[in-house]
Chains A and B, each alone.
Chain A
Amino acid sequence: MIKKHGFKVIGILLLLYVLVGGLFIPLKTGITGVDKFSIWSDTPSVINIDIYNPGKDFQVQSAVLGGKWGFVATKTDYKDGILSATFNPKLGKERAEGVSDLYVLANKEWMAFPSAVSIRKSAGDTGNTNAAPISVAADADVKRGFPNRPILNESIRNLYYHVPMWFSMIFLLLLGAVQSVKYLRKGDLNADLRADAFIKVAVLAGFLGCATGSVWASVTWNSWWPRDPKLNGVAIGMLMYMAYLLLRSGMKDEYQRARISAIYHLFVFPIFIALIVVMPKLSGDSLHPGAGGSVGFNQYDLDNTMRMFFYPAVIGWIAIFVWVSGLLHRINKLEIQTDTPL
Protein backbone atom coordinates (compact mmCIF):
# COMPACT_ATOMS: atom_id res chain seq x y z
CA MET A 1 0.00 0.00 0.00
CA ILE A 2 2.63 2.52 1.12
CA LYS A 3 5.06 1.22 -1.48
CA LYS A 4 2.50 1.54 -4.27
CA HIS A 5 0.83 4.84 -3.35
CA GLY A 6 3.42 6.51 -1.10
CA PHE A 7 5.02 8.57 -3.86
CA LYS A 8 1.63 9.97 -4.90
CA VAL A 9 0.90 11.18 -1.35
CA ILE A 10 4.42 12.60 -1.08
CA GLY A 11 3.96 14.38 -4.42
CA ILE A 12 0.64 15.93 -3.38
CA LEU A 13 1.94 17.06 0.02
CA LEU A 14 5.14 18.52 -1.43
CA LEU A 15 3.21 20.40 -4.13
CA LEU A 16 0.75 21.76 -1.54
CA TYR A 17 3.69 23.00 0.53
CA VAL A 18 5.31 24.52 -2.55
CA LEU A 19 2.09 26.18 -3.75
CA VAL A 20 1.31 27.72 -0.37
CA GLY A 21 4.86 28.76 0.48
CA GLY A 22 5.82 29.71 -3.04
CA LEU A 23 2.84 31.99 -3.45
CA PHE A 24 2.59 33.57 0.00
CA ILE A 25 6.11 34.10 1.33
CA PRO A 26 6.82 37.79 0.70
CA LEU A 27 9.62 39.17 -1.40
CA LYS A 28 12.44 41.07 0.27
CA THR A 29 12.61 44.83 -0.02
CA GLY A 30 13.85 45.94 -3.42
CA ILE A 31 13.88 48.67 -6.04
CA THR A 32 11.40 48.22 -8.89
CA GLY A 33 11.96 51.40 -10.85
CA VAL A 34 13.19 54.99 -11.10
CA ASP A 35 11.40 57.93 -12.72
CA LYS A 36 14.31 59.33 -14.75
CA PHE A 37 16.38 57.97 -17.62
CA SER A 38 19.15 60.55 -17.36
CA ILE A 39 20.28 63.50 -15.24
CA TRP A 40 22.75 66.33 -15.93
CA SER A 41 25.95 66.56 -13.97
CA ASP A 42 26.71 69.55 -11.73
CA THR A 43 22.95 70.16 -11.32
CA PRO A 44 20.97 69.06 -8.27
CA SER A 45 18.34 66.62 -9.48
CA VAL A 46 15.76 64.57 -7.61
CA ILE A 47 15.27 60.92 -8.55
CA ASN A 48 12.12 59.21 -7.31
CA ILE A 49 12.79 55.54 -6.58
CA ASP A 50 10.02 52.95 -6.25
CA ILE A 51 10.64 50.78 -3.20
CA TYR A 52 8.83 47.43 -3.17
CA ASN A 53 7.80 45.76 0.14
CA PRO A 54 9.46 48.41 2.33
CA GLY A 55 8.03 47.08 5.60
CA LYS A 56 6.94 49.08 8.62
CA ASP A 57 10.08 50.81 9.83
CA PHE A 58 11.95 51.58 6.65
CA GLN A 59 14.99 53.73 7.39
CA VAL A 60 17.18 54.90 4.53
CA GLN A 61 20.82 55.34 5.44
CA SER A 62 22.16 56.34 2.05
CA ALA A 63 21.68 56.21 -1.70
CA VAL A 64 24.54 55.92 -4.19
CA LEU A 65 24.82 56.29 -7.98
CA GLY A 66 27.72 54.34 -9.44
CA GLY A 67 29.79 51.29 -8.56
CA LYS A 68 33.24 51.30 -6.94
CA TRP A 69 33.30 55.05 -7.38
CA GLY A 70 29.97 56.65 -6.77
CA PHE A 71 28.03 59.80 -5.99
CA VAL A 72 26.31 59.80 -2.62
CA ALA A 73 22.89 61.42 -2.42
CA THR A 74 22.94 64.77 -0.67
CA LYS A 75 19.41 64.31 0.64
CA THR A 76 17.09 61.32 0.96
CA ASP A 77 13.41 61.58 1.73
CA TYR A 78 11.23 58.47 2.08
CA LYS A 79 7.45 58.49 2.04
CA ASP A 80 4.86 55.80 1.17
CA GLY A 81 6.99 53.51 -0.94
CA ILE A 82 8.78 56.31 -2.81
CA LEU A 83 12.30 57.36 -1.98
CA SER A 84 13.20 60.81 -3.30
CA ALA A 85 16.97 61.10 -3.46
CA THR A 86 18.74 64.31 -4.47
CA PHE A 87 22.01 63.85 -6.38
CA ASN A 88 24.47 66.50 -7.45
CA PRO A 89 27.09 64.54 -9.36
CA LYS A 90 30.17 66.42 -10.60
CA LEU A 91 31.94 64.43 -13.30
CA GLY A 92 34.68 67.02 -13.70
CA LYS A 93 37.59 66.59 -16.05
CA GLU A 94 38.58 63.05 -15.13
CA ARG A 95 35.27 61.12 -15.29
CA ALA A 96 33.30 60.35 -18.45
CA GLU A 97 29.54 60.33 -18.78
CA GLY A 98 27.75 56.99 -18.74
CA VAL A 99 25.05 54.79 -17.26
CA SER A 100 25.21 54.28 -13.50
CA ASP A 101 23.85 51.62 -11.17
CA LEU A 102 21.78 52.70 -8.21
CA TYR A 103 22.36 51.39 -4.68
CA VAL A 104 20.26 52.12 -1.63
CA LEU A 105 21.32 51.26 1.92
CA ALA A 106 18.25 50.83 4.11
CA ASN A 107 17.85 48.95 7.39
CA LYS A 108 21.53 47.93 7.07
CA GLU A 109 20.95 46.09 3.77
CA TRP A 110 22.04 47.15 0.31
CA MET A 111 19.56 47.06 -2.56
CA ALA A 112 20.71 47.35 -6.16
CA PHE A 113 19.10 48.50 -9.39
CA PRO A 114 21.50 48.04 -12.32
CA SER A 115 21.76 50.57 -15.16
CA ALA A 116 19.36 52.92 -13.40
CA VAL A 117 20.24 56.42 -14.62
CA SER A 118 22.67 57.82 -17.13
CA ILE A 119 24.67 60.86 -16.05
CA ARG A 120 25.22 63.37 -18.89
CA LYS A 121 28.03 65.90 -18.69
CA SER A 122 26.85 69.51 -18.68
CA ALA A 123 28.88 72.26 -20.31
CA GLY A 124 29.98 74.02 -17.14
CA ASP A 125 31.21 70.86 -15.42
CA THR A 126 34.96 71.32 -15.78
CA GLY A 127 36.11 71.32 -12.17
CA ASN A 128 37.02 68.44 -9.89
CA THR A 129 34.82 65.37 -9.48
CA ASN A 130 33.00 64.65 -6.24
CA ALA A 131 32.93 60.89 -6.79
CA ALA A 132 33.96 58.97 -3.67
CA PRO A 133 35.06 55.37 -3.20
CA ILE A 134 32.10 53.24 -2.13
CA SER A 135 32.05 49.74 -0.69
CA VAL A 136 28.75 48.07 -1.46
CA ALA A 137 28.62 44.92 0.63
CA ALA A 138 26.96 41.80 -0.76
CA ASP A 139 23.41 40.80 0.12
CA ALA A 140 23.49 40.05 3.85
CA ASP A 141 20.57 37.60 3.61
CA VAL A 142 19.31 38.39 7.09
CA LYS A 143 15.61 38.83 6.39
CA ARG A 144 13.35 35.87 5.62
CA GLY A 145 11.88 36.15 2.15
CA PHE A 146 12.57 35.48 -1.51
CA PRO A 147 15.24 37.67 -3.11
CA ASN A 148 13.94 40.68 -5.01
CA ARG A 149 16.04 40.65 -8.15
CA PRO A 150 15.78 43.40 -10.74
CA ILE A 151 13.65 42.54 -13.82
CA LEU A 152 12.32 39.38 -12.13
CA ASN A 153 10.59 40.88 -9.07
CA GLU A 154 7.61 38.70 -8.06
CA SER A 155 7.99 36.48 -11.11
CA ILE A 156 10.96 34.80 -9.38
CA ARG A 157 8.29 32.47 -7.95
CA ASN A 158 7.99 30.87 -11.39
CA LEU A 159 11.15 28.98 -10.49
CA TYR A 160 8.91 26.48 -8.67
CA TYR A 161 6.50 26.01 -11.58
CA HIS A 162 8.44 26.50 -14.82
CA VAL A 163 11.82 24.90 -14.07
CA PRO A 164 10.46 21.62 -12.55
CA MET A 165 8.56 21.03 -15.82
CA TRP A 166 11.92 20.58 -17.57
CA PHE A 167 13.36 18.53 -14.70
CA SER A 168 10.28 16.27 -14.86
CA MET A 169 10.57 15.96 -18.64
CA ILE A 170 14.21 14.87 -18.47
CA PHE A 171 13.50 12.48 -15.58
CA LEU A 172 10.54 10.88 -17.41
CA LEU A 173 12.58 10.52 -20.59
CA LEU A 174 15.27 8.82 -18.52
CA LEU A 175 12.69 6.40 -17.06
CA GLY A 176 11.45 5.83 -20.63
CA ALA A 177 15.00 5.04 -21.77
CA VAL A 178 15.35 2.48 -18.94
CA GLN A 179 12.12 0.79 -20.10
CA SER A 180 13.30 0.89 -23.73
CA VAL A 181 16.51 -0.92 -22.76
CA LYS A 182 14.41 -3.41 -20.83
CA TYR A 183 12.27 -4.07 -23.90
CA LEU A 184 15.28 -4.56 -26.16
CA ARG A 185 16.88 -6.98 -23.70
CA LYS A 186 13.84 -9.04 -22.74
CA GLY A 187 11.26 -8.44 -25.48
CA ASP A 188 8.65 -7.58 -22.86
CA LEU A 189 5.81 -5.65 -24.54
CA ASN A 190 4.72 -4.22 -21.19
CA ALA A 191 8.07 -2.42 -20.90
CA ASP A 192 7.42 -0.87 -24.32
CA LEU A 193 4.02 0.39 -23.17
CA ARG A 194 5.61 1.83 -20.03
CA ALA A 195 8.30 3.60 -22.08
CA ASP A 196 5.64 5.02 -24.40
CA ALA A 197 3.57 6.37 -21.49
CA PHE A 198 6.66 8.00 -19.93
CA ILE A 199 7.61 9.64 -23.23
CA LYS A 200 4.10 10.93 -23.94
CA VAL A 201 3.79 12.54 -20.49
CA ALA A 202 7.32 13.91 -20.88
CA VAL A 203 6.21 15.62 -24.08
CA LEU A 204 3.25 17.09 -22.17
CA ALA A 205 5.65 18.41 -19.51
CA GLY A 206 7.84 19.82 -22.29
CA PHE A 207 4.91 21.66 -23.85
CA LEU A 208 3.95 23.10 -20.46
CA GLY A 209 7.59 24.13 -19.97
CA CYS A 210 7.64 25.88 -23.35
CA ALA A 211 4.33 27.67 -22.77
CA THR A 212 5.13 28.79 -19.21
CA GLY A 213 8.64 29.86 -20.21
CA SER A 214 7.26 31.84 -23.13
CA VAL A 215 4.84 33.76 -20.90
CA TRP A 216 7.59 34.38 -18.33
CA ALA A 217 10.01 35.59 -21.02
CA SER A 218 7.42 38.00 -22.39
CA VAL A 219 7.58 40.11 -19.22
CA THR A 220 11.23 39.64 -18.27
CA TRP A 221 13.17 39.33 -21.54
CA ASN A 222 10.57 41.31 -23.53
CA SER A 223 9.99 38.64 -26.14
CA TRP A 224 7.75 35.61 -26.40
CA TRP A 225 10.55 33.51 -27.92
CA PRO A 226 13.90 35.26 -27.38
CA ARG A 227 17.08 34.35 -29.23
CA ASP A 228 18.66 31.86 -26.90
CA PRO A 229 20.55 28.61 -27.53
CA LYS A 230 18.47 26.82 -24.91
CA LEU A 231 15.21 27.70 -26.67
CA ASN A 232 16.51 26.70 -30.09
CA GLY A 233 17.70 23.38 -28.64
CA VAL A 234 14.34 22.76 -27.01
CA ALA A 235 12.49 23.56 -30.25
CA ILE A 236 14.53 20.94 -32.12
CA GLY A 237 14.20 18.44 -29.28
CA MET A 238 10.41 18.81 -29.11
CA LEU A 239 10.21 18.30 -32.89
CA MET A 240 12.21 15.08 -32.54
CA TYR A 241 9.71 13.79 -30.01
CA MET A 242 6.78 14.89 -32.21
CA ALA A 243 8.40 12.72 -34.89
CA TYR A 244 8.45 9.87 -32.35
CA LEU A 245 4.70 10.23 -31.77
CA LEU A 246 4.01 10.20 -35.52
CA LEU A 247 6.34 7.27 -36.12
CA ARG A 248 4.71 5.22 -33.42
CA SER A 249 1.13 5.99 -34.43
CA GLY A 250 1.89 4.91 -38.00
CA MET A 251 2.85 1.32 -37.21
CA LYS A 252 0.41 -1.50 -36.63
CA ASP A 253 2.63 -4.48 -35.82
CA GLU A 254 3.22 -4.47 -32.05
CA TYR A 255 6.71 -5.99 -31.99
CA GLN A 256 8.02 -3.88 -34.86
CA ARG A 257 6.52 -0.76 -33.28
CA ALA A 258 8.06 -1.57 -29.91
CA ARG A 259 11.52 -2.28 -31.34
CA ILE A 260 11.65 0.83 -33.53
CA SER A 261 10.26 3.08 -30.76
CA ALA A 262 12.83 1.77 -28.28
CA ILE A 263 15.77 2.24 -30.65
CA TYR A 264 14.53 5.68 -31.78
CA HIS A 265 14.14 6.83 -28.18
CA LEU A 266 17.56 5.51 -27.17
CA PHE A 267 19.12 7.47 -30.04
CA VAL A 268 17.14 10.67 -29.57
CA PHE A 269 17.38 10.93 -25.76
CA PRO A 270 21.15 11.67 -25.65
CA ILE A 271 20.75 14.14 -28.52
CA PHE A 272 17.93 15.86 -26.61
CA ILE A 273 20.12 16.16 -23.50
CA ALA A 274 22.98 17.48 -25.62
CA LEU A 275 20.69 20.07 -27.20
CA ILE A 276 19.18 21.46 -24.02
CA VAL A 277 21.99 21.01 -21.49
CA VAL A 278 25.36 20.75 -23.25
CA MET A 279 24.92 23.08 -26.26
CA PRO A 280 23.77 26.15 -24.26
CA LYS A 281 26.79 25.68 -21.99
CA LEU A 282 29.18 25.41 -24.94
CA SER A 283 27.74 28.48 -26.65
CA GLY A 284 28.57 30.35 -23.45
CA ASP A 285 25.98 33.00 -24.19
CA SER A 286 22.52 32.28 -22.89
CA LEU A 287 19.86 34.22 -21.04
CA HIS A 288 19.13 31.21 -18.84
CA PRO A 289 21.03 31.01 -15.54
CA GLY A 290 23.54 28.21 -15.30
CA ALA A 291 23.99 28.06 -19.06
CA GLY A 292 27.20 30.05 -19.50
CA GLY A 293 30.30 29.26 -17.49
CA SER A 294 28.66 28.16 -14.27
CA VAL A 295 27.44 24.66 -13.49
CA GLY A 296 23.74 24.65 -12.67
CA PHE A 297 22.58 26.98 -9.97
CA ASN A 298 25.11 28.74 -7.87
CA GLN A 299 24.74 30.70 -4.70
CA TYR A 300 24.00 33.79 -6.79
CA ASP A 301 20.86 32.34 -8.36
CA LEU A 302 19.37 30.55 -5.37
CA ASP A 303 19.36 31.63 -1.75
CA ASN A 304 18.55 29.40 1.20
CA THR A 305 14.88 30.39 1.41
CA MET A 306 14.37 29.52 -2.25
CA ARG A 307 16.18 26.20 -1.85
CA MET A 308 13.65 25.21 0.83
CA PHE A 309 10.98 25.33 -1.87
CA PHE A 310 12.82 24.59 -5.11
CA TYR A 311 13.97 21.04 -4.32
CA PRO A 312 10.57 19.97 -2.90
CA ALA A 313 8.95 21.49 -6.01
CA VAL A 314 11.16 19.40 -8.31
CA ILE A 315 10.46 16.18 -6.37
CA GLY A 316 6.73 16.96 -6.10
CA TRP A 317 6.24 17.70 -9.81
CA ILE A 318 8.24 14.60 -10.78
CA ALA A 319 6.05 12.45 -8.49
CA ILE A 320 2.86 13.89 -10.01
CA PHE A 321 4.05 13.36 -13.59
CA VAL A 322 5.20 9.79 -12.83
CA TRP A 323 1.72 9.16 -11.40
CA VAL A 324 0.09 10.58 -14.54
CA SER A 325 2.25 8.41 -16.80
CA GLY A 326 1.30 5.38 -14.67
CA LEU A 327 -2.37 6.13 -15.39
CA LEU A 328 -1.69 6.42 -19.12
CA HIS A 329 0.26 3.16 -19.10
CA ARG A 330 -2.56 1.29 -17.36
CA ILE A 331 -5.15 2.58 -19.82
CA ASN A 332 -2.96 1.68 -22.82
CA LYS A 333 -2.48 -1.81 -21.39
CA LEU A 334 -6.25 -2.27 -21.02
CA GLU A 335 -6.73 -1.03 -24.59
CA ILE A 336 -4.38 -3.68 -25.96
CA GLN A 337 -6.00 -6.37 -23.85
CA THR A 338 -9.49 -5.55 -25.16
CA ASP A 339 -8.25 -5.32 -28.77
CA THR A 340 -6.66 -8.76 -28.73
CA PRO A 341 -8.49 -11.12 -26.38
CA LEU A 342 -5.96 -13.33 -24.62
Chain B
Amino acid sequence: MKNKSIFQLGMFFIAMLMAQPLLANESPMRGNAKFNVVAAVLLIIFLGIVVFLIYLDRKITKLEKEKDQKQ
Protein backbone atom coordinates (compact mmCIF):
# COMPACT_ATOMS: atom_id res chain seq x y z
CA MET B 1 0.00 0.00 0.00
CA LYS B 2 2.81 2.35 0.95
CA ASN B 3 4.75 1.42 -2.18
CA LYS B 4 1.73 2.17 -4.34
CA SER B 5 1.34 5.71 -2.98
CA ILE B 6 5.05 6.38 -3.47
CA PHE B 7 4.70 5.12 -7.05
CA GLN B 8 1.72 7.41 -7.62
CA LEU B 9 3.62 10.37 -6.20
CA GLY B 10 6.54 9.57 -8.51
CA MET B 11 4.25 9.37 -11.52
CA PHE B 12 2.71 12.71 -10.52
CA PHE B 13 6.14 14.39 -10.48
CA ILE B 14 7.06 12.80 -13.81
CA ALA B 15 3.78 14.05 -15.30
CA MET B 16 4.53 17.54 -13.94
CA LEU B 17 7.99 17.47 -15.52
CA MET B 18 6.59 16.24 -18.83
CA ALA B 19 4.06 19.06 -18.81
CA GLN B 20 6.88 21.63 -18.81
CA PRO B 21 7.83 22.92 -22.25
CA LEU B 22 11.42 21.69 -21.88
CA LEU B 23 12.39 22.31 -25.48
CA ALA B 24 10.53 25.58 -25.88
CA ASN B 25 12.28 28.91 -25.65
CA GLU B 26 10.89 29.48 -22.15
CA SER B 27 12.51 26.31 -20.81
CA PRO B 28 14.25 26.99 -17.48
CA MET B 29 17.37 25.32 -18.88
CA ARG B 30 17.86 28.23 -21.29
CA GLY B 31 17.86 30.82 -18.52
CA ASN B 32 20.83 33.13 -17.87
CA ALA B 33 22.00 32.84 -21.49
CA LYS B 34 21.98 29.01 -21.22
CA PHE B 35 24.11 29.04 -18.06
CA ASN B 36 21.51 26.89 -16.29
CA VAL B 37 22.39 23.94 -18.49
CA VAL B 38 25.95 24.07 -17.11
CA ALA B 39 24.47 23.85 -13.61
CA ALA B 40 22.32 20.90 -14.71
CA VAL B 41 25.36 19.12 -16.15
CA LEU B 42 27.33 19.58 -12.93
CA LEU B 43 24.32 18.32 -10.95
CA ILE B 44 24.12 15.17 -13.11
CA ILE B 45 27.84 14.44 -12.61
CA PHE B 46 27.48 14.99 -8.86
CA LEU B 47 24.46 12.65 -8.69
CA GLY B 48 26.30 10.02 -10.74
CA ILE B 49 29.26 10.08 -8.36
CA VAL B 50 26.90 9.94 -5.34
CA VAL B 51 25.11 6.89 -6.79
CA PHE B 52 28.50 5.23 -7.20
CA LEU B 53 29.40 6.11 -3.60
CA ILE B 54 26.18 4.42 -2.41
CA TYR B 55 27.13 1.32 -4.44
CA LEU B 56 30.57 1.24 -2.80
CA ASP B 57 29.01 1.85 0.62
CA ARG B 58 26.74 -1.17 0.26
CA LYS B 59 29.65 -3.37 -0.82
CA ILE B 60 31.68 -2.32 2.23
CA THR B 61 28.70 -2.90 4.55
CA LYS B 62 28.40 -6.43 3.15
CA LEU B 63 32.11 -7.05 3.75
CA GLU B 64 31.85 -5.78 7.32
CA LYS B 65 28.90 -8.08 8.04
CA GLU B 66 30.76 -11.09 6.63
CA LYS B 67 33.76 -10.26 8.76
CA ASP B 68 31.59 -10.01 11.90
CA GLN B 69 29.98 -13.36 11.18
CA LYS B 70 33.38 -15.03 10.83
CA GLN B 71 34.48 -13.67 14.18
Q: Answer whether A and B are interacting partners.
A: yes
- B18-47 with Cβ < 8 A to chain A: 22-23, 27, 29-30, 32-35, 37-38, 40-42, 44-45
Contact check, A215 vs B45: say whether CB atoms are below 8 A apart.
Answer: no
Residues on B with beta carbons closer than 8 Å to the beta carbon of A52: 33
Q: Identify which of A158, A201, A207, A211 contacts B37 (C-beta below 8 A).
A: A158
Please pick, from A154, A157, A218, A328, the residue contacting B56 in the complex, using a CB distance under 8 A: A328
Across the interface, A215 reaches (CB within 8 A) one of B33, B41, B67, namely B41
For the A-B complex, the count of residue pairs with Cβ-Cβ distances under 8 Å equals 78
Of the candidates B33, B42, B56, the one whose C-beta lies within 8 Å of that of A161 is B42
Alpha-carbon distance A223/B66, docked complex (angstroms) = 48
Which of A113-121, A169-177, A250-258, A331-339 interfaces with chain B? A331-339
Min CB distance B23 to A, Å, is 6
Given that A52-B33, A207-B48 are contacting pairs, would A215 and B56 also be in contact in the complex, using a CB cutoff of 8 Å?
no
Roughly how many angstroms separate A249 CA and B59 CA in the complex, as a whole number? 15
Cβ contacts A201-240/B at 8 Å (1 or 0 each): 1001001100110011011101110000000000000000
Question: Is A154 in contact with B41, judged by CB distance below 8 angstroms?
Answer: no
For this complex, 9 residue pairs linking A to B, each with C-beta atoms less than 8 Å apart, are A52-B33, A154-B34, A212-B41, A215-B29, A218-B27, A331-B60, A331-B63, A334-B63, A338-B63
Q: Which chain B residues have a beta carbon within 8 Å of chain A's beta carbons? A: 22-23, 27, 29-30, 32-35, 37-38, 40-42, 44-45, 48-49, 52, 56, 59-60, 62-63, 66-67, 70
